[in-house]
Structure 1
């Protein structure tokens, strides 16, 4: 006895759904909308500074900048070098509101972090997304760092405090400035919510791309001043030094 009416067309079965790769549009052979061939071709961050994750020729090194002046944050964990096609996927997520791109990158970053935790990276107590100012949040309609933190928190089973970090003062867009101007632009830009409780806790900042590290440095100093025990940074991609 049939419990469903007969149809000539095949019935859609969710559990047997095959996704298409978001890069090449071919059918995927993985659980994510990314085929194995495209995943292997992503600009994975190999050799890098053990502190700020800037790309270096080999692993196990610390860059000259971190040796001369150690940053306030302890470690940066990034999955990729900021290069094609990751830069295009981030742009489509961040500026064109294509959520599947961000969701895919967030899932892959989660896998990267799970591996890092298994290799000895200390797990943080909570995740804090880098905040947007009110004006930019109204223009964009969402905070990409907040969305990434939400996806990471769910997959890594870590609490997320989206509103503990605030940006009451907005300056020029960081992407439009050089390194020195970025630092000046961030003076007094951030604040902690009065109900934020970071004293004695290991926290991790979440953002999409780390460029000069000025934003991460400013926020890490703010958190350490409030009593945080350790500040790490989790991001999708790390830009190389100019000229590299």
Structure 2
């Protein structure tokens, strides 16, 4: 006798209209499991570089790095600074398997994207998660960027392709490396899947945190060289300059 119910049957119906905030544990009737107070207190990014979303003192500026060396991607969409409690939520999702926290952040990012699309931000044809090296994938058991892309794609109704981008070289972790070392670390680290349809398509690369932008630039350069018409970057948080 099979214990698994037929897939056509509904296993349960979620009836609770209220849920607990994942940050303060207070009851909330909000759409997402975060109360209004905690959502308001998140480290929203504010004024930023128009290209790479680096925190800036006022709106409408482009940072010196993007002026000197324009990145291959067109724009970064990111709602928060990598500061408390976002840094804690990302770390717990990424390294401790606390998936509900990752899903909450992905859905809030999706909400931000809905606003941006309404304001004229071009919708991409496809979301591409940053690929994880096989060794690190075996150690962690999941690719957090792929999970974010799936949740985000469902929320904004954009297809996700987890096989188009490949990580062909095992490289050391990017944490702790400066911008120059990160770029050298990523040389020839990525490739496109055989037969991938790239020409004249608009892609958005999805990751958890943008630090120097080296990974995003490497992937965007790969896609643009293959004929993509535009590459954007969607991520949860942006770090400031190290000296800041």
TM class by smaller structure? over 0.9
Match of 1:185? 185
C-alpha contact 2:28 2:35 (8 A) present in aligned 1: yes
- Once the two structures are overlaid, the 10-residue window that deviates more, 65-74 or 231-240, is 65-74
Residues 128-167 of structure 1: pairs in structure 2 closer than 5 A: 128-167=128-167
Match of 2:29? 29
TM-score when normalising by structure 2? 0.93
C-alpha contact 2:18 2:30 (8 A) present in aligned 1: no
- Once the two structures are overlaid, the 10-residue window that deviates more, 123-132 or 61-70, is 61-70
User: What is the CA-CA distance between 1:171 and the residue it aligns to?
Assistant: 1.4
Separation in 2 of the partners of 1:219 and 1:188? 10
Any runs of at least 4 consecutive aligned residues in structure 1 with deviations exceeding 4 A, and if so which?
Answer: none
Match of 1:123? 123
C-alpha contact 1:20 1:26 (8 A) present in aligned 2: yes
- Once the two structures are overlaid, the 10-residue window that deviates more, 91-100 or 54-63, is 54-63
2:168 paired with 1:168: yes
Match of 1:40? 40
User: What is the CA-CA distance between 1:176 and the residue it aligns to?
Assistant: 3.0
Match of 1:63? 63
Match of 1:104? 104
Secondary structure at 1:174's aligned position in 2? coil
Gaps of 5+ in 1: 1-12
Match of 2:206? 206
Of structures 1 and 2, the larger Rg is shown by 1
Query: Deviation per CA, 1:46-100, whole angstroms, max 9, x where unpaired?
Result: 0000110000112111111111221110000001000000000000000000010
2:59 paired with 1:52: no
Separation in 2 of the partners of 1:56 and 1:204? 23
Superposition RMSD on alpha carbons, in Å?
A: 1.3
Separation in 2 of the partners of 1:199 and 1:191? 15
Q: Report how many residues are paired.
A: 233
C-alpha contact 2:17 2:29 (8 A) present in aligned 1: no
Gaps of 5+ in 2: 1-12
